[in-house]
Structure 1
Amino acid sequence: MPDPNPQAMEFLLSRRSRPAKTLAGPVPDDAALMPILTAAARTPDHGKLEPWRFIVLRQAALKRLAALSRARGAALQMAPEKVDKMARQFDDAELAVAVIAAPQPSEKVPEIEQILSAGAVCLSMLNAALASGWGANWLSGWASHDRDFVETGLGLSAQESVAGFIHIGTETSAPPDRPRPDLGAITTWVEA
């Protein structure tokens, strides 16, 4: 059994995302981002398939994605407020990492396990950013599920999808903590 790590446990018990709209510059440079990406890549990966990859989006790329989301929203005849909310996610950001689910052909590891691994990468990256002293938030939104947006804007192949956009920056304000799940209501103990 590994030695207990009370500091890590305390972090996990008290961690909380920071709303992307409260993040500002400075943001991590490449050197500061590499340990965060490295920690995320240590996520459980059945079969060592690496069924995910990262796209680091700096401010100019995020502005381009904001414009593309506005164009796609208009083409899809979406409600203006829904389009604007999506565009602001990119427009207001200085750094986000797109975690791309990239399932690999495998007879042993089902695609769903590979996609779940990509979700685990998102949480690992979020926690690594927070543990490094940055504010961070995991977002998605309608554009992350729009094939034209992800293929045109991010260069995804037909087999790939966005697991999440991890926004990272300097926290400008902390919202109050939110209510947490009632463990008694969501936990079943099976003895036999």
Structure 2
Amino acid sequence: MDNHMTRYILSGGYPWKAPDGGKAFFEELARGYEEPVKILECLFARPEDAWTKAYVEEQELVARLLPDKNIEFQLARRDAFIEQIRWANTIYLRGGDTAALLAALAQYPGWEKELGGKTLAGGSAGAMVIAKYSYSIDELALEDGLGLLPIKVQVHYRSDYNAPHVDWDNADEALASYKEKLPVWNLGEGEFKVFER
């Protein structure tokens, strides 16, 4: 992979809900790197007491889906995040609370400058943070992300996630007209999109 480019993978959430159980998504996380592929799992969007369980479950899922792939995982730690980014081929910002993830990442000014030649993946809240703007189906509100990609995104698109409260047609219109005109990506659960820049 070009050392100046960053590959971004945005997931609509719950990659295992894809027809292939998430196999293509996890293959994409590892694509283009020599083995062992180094993946940094960042769970800053979730309460710390939930990290270990989610981290172990994800490793088990990847081992089942990609049994012949040699992958090393690390769980992102607040006291070593920048060093861990430098170690990793792929940084995966897992879903959870978008505001919590933004606040955590704000503690590491310039972290995004370490992404050359790497892959930054975002699932659900992670995708919302990577995009410039998004519609939160938890908050039922438009939100600003970091703008690492100049796009707008909706995750868990037209799913049953918070379904009784989401008016998708309204959300589509509100996000399309929010601030500046940018491409809108609507990602359903299990769906993902790859960008390079």
Q: Scaled by the length of structure 2, what TM-score is found?
A: 0.28
Q: Scaled by the length of structure 1, what TM-score is found?
A: 0.28
Larger strand fraction of residues: 2
Larger helix fraction of residues: 1
- Higher alpha-carbon Rg: 1
